[in-house]
Amino acid sequence: MSGKHVHSATRAVWAQHARDILKRRGYSRGGAREAVIDFLDRQQCATSAQDIYQALRRGGDRPIAMASVYRSLEALHRLQLVQRLDVGHGEGLYEPLAATGEHHHHVVCDKCDRIVPFEDEELEQAISQLADRVPFEVAGHEVVLHGRCPDCRDARR
């Protein structure tokens, strides 16, 4: 992974960057791919292909096929424009990657499946130090913490 998760301040830059990379790599401007880019551009965190499909079906001017959503996500992933996250729900989640290095990680509630993004500079420093000690050239990382959100934790009491 050459980029990281995108903050909202760089969203418009990401969408244009994605379109530029796709064009340079010879991809034509497809309606489904454009719709997926626009949808991802408006998200605050990772989302599933199914959620993208449902949202585009409800709000789109023209019909879109689930296969087109998956093809679009696969192209964006192959070009390292989106990150595919496995948070343990059985379905991958997708979010934009920024070449700037800006990113966040995720904490997942194992009871209600709520996903909350978080940032931690000390964690980033520890990961960077660890990367210097392993025999691999580390190109990226993702951190997913699991537990119970405050609502589910309180409901258990």
Model confidence pLDDT, tens digit, residues 11-70:
568 999 999 999 999 998 888 999 999 999 998 889 999 999 999 998 766 789 999 999
Radius of gyration of the chain (CA): 17
Residue 1 banded pLDDT, cuts 50, 70, 90: very low
Residue 4 banded pLDDT, cuts 50, 70, 90: very low
Residue 72 banded pLDDT, cuts 50, 70, 90: very high
pLDDT of 91 > 70? The answer is yes
Q: DSSP label at 79? A: T
CA 92, 93, 98, 104 dihedral sign is negative
Q: What is the pLDDT of residue 126?
A: 95
**How many domains is the chain built from?**
1
CA 11, 68, 50, 87 dihedral sign is negative
Q: What is the pLDDT of residue 155?
A: 85
Q: Characterize the bridge pairing of strands 93-98 and 4-5.
A: antiparallel
Phi/psi of residue 118, nearest 5 degrees: -150, 155
Domain that holds residue 106: 4-156
Residue 7 banded pLDDT, cuts 50, 70, 90: very low
Q: Is 63 exposed, middle or buried (0-12, 13-18, 19+ CB in 10 A)?
A: exposed
CATH number of domain containing 111: 1.10.10.10
Per-residue tokens: 128: 């960077």
Furthest CA-CA distance within the chain:
56
The alpha carbon of 51 is separated from its chain's Cα centroid by a whole number of angstroms, namely 13
**9 in Cβ contact with 98 (< 8 Å):** no
Q: What is the pLDDT of residue 29?
A: 85
- pTM for the model stands at 0.78
For 94-146, the pLDDT digits (tens) are 999 877 777 889 999 999 989 999 999 999 999 999 999 999 998 888 899 99
The alpha carbon of 46 is separated from its chain's Cα centroid by a whole number of angstroms, namely 4
